[in-house]
A = this chain, B = another copy of it.
Amino acid sequence: MTKLVPIGDHVVIKVEKAKETMKSGIVLPDSAKEKPQQGTVMAVGSGVMLDNGTKIPLEVKKGDKVFYSKYSGNEIKLDDEEYVVLSQHDILAIVK
């Protein structure tokens, strides 16, 4: 099966279908502002590079359920699944 491997501080997220209600009953707010998106982390990059070149591992892990801001990142379709690749700082929060 084909795999997407992100680079640096990027993360690959499998996008959750818009109207799916998660077990915890998350209904996206209807406010004028764009609804944040939800999905599951499929792969994380090598980390955040510091000025001296060392890498700090990302805070999110494979399998985390996350919210991320709607217009961040780039969408990719692979084997009929929709993914988005974005930088860790576009992730709003991990749902635990």
Check A67–B85 contact: CB distance below 8 A: yes
| Number of identical protomers | 7
Instruction: Pick the 5 closest A-B CB pairs, nearest first.
Output: A2-B24, A29-B77, A4-B93, A85-B92, A5-B94
Query: Could you list 28 A-B pairs, sorted by A, with CB under 8 Å?
Result: A1-B24, A3-B95, A4-B96, A6-B92, A7-B59, A7-B89, A7-B91, A7-B94, A8-B59, A12-B93, A24-B78, A26-B77, A26-B79, A27-B77, A28-B77, A29-B75, A36-B74, A36-B76, A48-B49, A50-B51, A50-B52, A51-B51, A53-B56, A67-B74, A67-B76, A69-B74, A76-B92, A85-B92
Which residues from chain A sit less than 8 Å from chain B, CB to CB?
1-8, 10, 12, 24-29, 31, 33, 36, 43, 46, 48-54, 56, 59-60, 67, 69, 74-79, 82, 85, 88-89, 91-96
